């Protein structure tokens, strides 16, 4: 069977929705390694895979109104979602191509399925209206869930933390196609020289929410920037995570410990701020992700980053040598601040996961505290905006560790800060 952008996207959608651990990004990387596609086809497969998962509930709402069936079985349902996304959300895709390709994929299931897909998509084509009317729902939660494609329990949770005025703005920002942000690596290139290289390649950019972060306005940046990427001139990184390292404030000559460090964005930025003087011990429990960290450190020229595969909960603080000036714990979390990028998370996260993660985060924070020297700094961060994973964890930690105090805390929101949602707390040890 010929592998087309649509068939690849369909396969990825099926796999990601059927699993608890696969990501769209990883599946696209694997698919592009296995099947040679021109850049245009790669872009289409990427748009389809992310777009369908980002708009799943909205697509299902339209499909339900154009179908006589209450429940549509897989894979026909996925084929309909793929076709509906092209018709409702992609103006540059001809309707005949979206419908035709979907029908051909459905024929592999049965002739009856192909006829059904053709009929439903032609009805959707006649609608050509993506808007989900609020009047069609008995309550606002159901409307927001359908329009922005988030589980209702998640929206109810956000409403408790945000209130009604910011809720829809947060939902909308968390469902937008995110821009590409890059951190300029001053260990390899001057900022002005990097900007000139972008301009020479015709890559438009804007100043990001941090002095060293640029937002690129190019959909094919990989091909245009592959040479300077290989030279280590930049790292793909959001301003929110750069701010977290700024809060840690590592300085030349210090000993820094970065726990849960892969793929290395924070560790390598630490080295940049330290002018490559001192030590950054980068720890992660995943050998595969640690291999990526090693490659990133090599590419970026951060010679003081020392990778180590280890479980932060099982590491022992040795006398003297294991005491660090600054410790960063970017804890595993629900990713509720980066749902625009991690589109699959909304379909696999469960309410019970929040409490489980919060308990793990507290254990990790208590473990990280063992490595901080007297008068040293401990920064706790997540890419979640959930208070149970953020403020609550810090409060419990401080209650059990009276020799620590919170010096500064910040939280960013996609809808108000125009960057990823994140939380960070700077904790200072007194003795």
259-312 pLDDT per residue, tens: 999 999 999 999 999 999 999 999 999 999 999 999 999 999 999 999 999 999
107 and 256 assigned to the same domain: no
CB 424 within 8 A of CB 380: yes
What does pLDDT average to over the chain? Answer: 93
Q: Tokens 């063992």 label which residue?
A: 370
In the chain, pLDDT over 90 holds for what percent of residues? 84
Neighbours of 110 (CB within 10 A): 11
254 and 365 assigned to the same domain: yes
| Predicted pLDDT at 321 | 52
**What CATH number should be reported for the domain holding residue 185?**
3.30.70.1170
- How far, in Å, CA of 244 to CA of 410, rounded? 9
> Of 172-181, 184-193, 319-328, which gets the smallest average pLDDT?
319-328
151 and 76 assigned to the same domain: no
Phi/psi of residue 214, nearest 5 degrees: -115, 140
249 and 122 assigned to the same domain: no
The answer to whether 383 is a known catalytic residue is yes
324-330, strands of its sheet edge to edge: 305-309, 279-284, 255-259, 324-330, 372-382, 422-429, 404-412
Residue 223 binned pLDDT confidence (cut-offs 50, 70, 90): low
**What CATH number should be reported for the domain holding residue 259?**
3.40.50.150
| Predicted pLDDT at 322 | 59
369 and 404 assigned to the same domain: yes
Q: Give 354-407 as a 3 state SS string.
A: HHHHHHHHHHHHHHHHCCEEEEEEEEEEECCCCCCCCHHHHHHHHHHCCCEEEE
122 and 138 assigned to the same domain: no
322 and 187 assigned to the same domain: no
279 and 409 assigned to the same domain: yes
| Predicted pLDDT at 89 | 93
| Predicted pLDDT at 88 | 94
159 and 267 assigned to the same domain: no
- How far, in Å, CA of 126 to CA of 122, rounded? 6
Looking at 89, 109, 127, the residue that finishes a domain is: 127
User: What is the tens place of the pLDDT at every residue in 87-99?
Assistant: 999 989 999 999 9
Neighbours of 367 (CB within 10 A): 18
79 and 31 assigned to the same domain: yes
- Predicted TM-score of the model (pTM): 0.93
- Of 106-120, 203-217, 253-267, the range with the highest mean pLDDT is 253-267
Q: Which of 171, 270, 333, 383 is catalytic?
A: 383
230 and 322 assigned to the same domain: no
Q: How many domains does the chain have?
A: 4
286 and 401 assigned to the same domain: yes
Q: 164: domain range?
A: 134-173
- End-to-end alpha carbon distance in the chain: 66
Orientation angle between helical segments 56-65 and 39-54, nearest 10 degrees: 80
Structure token digits, residue 105: 């994929």
Residues 363-392, mean pLDDT to the nearest whole number: 97
Q: Is residue 188 scored above 70 in pLDDT?
A: yes
């Amino acid at each position: 069977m010929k592998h087309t952008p649509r068939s690849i996207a369909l396969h990825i959608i099926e796999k990601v929705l059927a699993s608890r651990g696969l990501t769209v990004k990883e599946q696209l990387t694997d698919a592009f390694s296995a099947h040679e596609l021109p850049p245009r086809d790669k872009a289409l497969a990427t748009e389809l895979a992310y777009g369908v998962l980002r708009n799943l509930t909205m697509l299902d709402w339209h499909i339900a109104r154009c179908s006589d069936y209450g429940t549509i079985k897989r894979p026909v349902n996925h084929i309909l979602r793929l076709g509906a996304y092209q018709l409702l959300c992609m103006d540059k895709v001809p309707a005949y191509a979206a419908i035709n390709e979907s029908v051909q994929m459905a024929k592999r299931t049965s002739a009856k399925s192909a006829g059904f897909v053709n009929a439903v998509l032609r009805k959707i084509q006649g609608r050509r209206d993506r808007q989900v009317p609020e009047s069609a729902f008995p309550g606002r939660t159901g409307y927001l869930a359908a329009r922005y494609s988030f589980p209702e329990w998640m929206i109810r949770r956000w409403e408790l933390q945000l209130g009604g005025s910011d809720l829809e703005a947060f939902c909308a920002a968390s469902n937008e196609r995110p821009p590409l942000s890059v951190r300029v690596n001053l260990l390899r290139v001057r900022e002005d020289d990097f900007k000139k290289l972008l301009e020479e390649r015709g890559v438009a950019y804007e100043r990001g929410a941090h002095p060293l972060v640029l937002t690129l306005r190019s959909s094919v940046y990989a091909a245009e920037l592959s040479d300077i990427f290989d030279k280590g001139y930049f790292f793909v990184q959001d301003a929110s995570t750069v701010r977290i390292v700024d809060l840690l404030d590592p300085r030349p000559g210090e000993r820094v410990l970065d726990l849960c460090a892969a793929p290395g964005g924070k560790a390598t930025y630490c080295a940049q701020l330290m002018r490559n003087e001192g030590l950054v011990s980068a720890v992660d429990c995943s050998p595969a992700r640690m291999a990526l960290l090693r490659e990133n450190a090599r590419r970026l020229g951060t010679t003081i980053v020392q990778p180590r595969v280890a479980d932060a909960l099982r590491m022992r603080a040795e006398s003297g040598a294991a005491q660090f000036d600054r410790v960063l714990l970017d804890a595993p979390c629900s990713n509720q601040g980066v749902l625009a990028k991690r589109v699959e998370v909304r379909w696999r996260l469960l309410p019970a996961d929040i409490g489980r993660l919060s308990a793990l985060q507290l254990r990790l924070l208590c473990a990280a505290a063992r490595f901080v020297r007297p008068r040293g700094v401990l920064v706790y961060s997540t890419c979640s905006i959930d208070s149970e994973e953020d403020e609550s964890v810090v409060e419990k930690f401080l209650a059990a560790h009276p020799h620590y105090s919170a010096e500064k805390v910040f939280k960013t929101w996609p809808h108000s800060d125009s960057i990823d949602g994140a939380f960070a707390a700077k904790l200072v040890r007194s003795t």
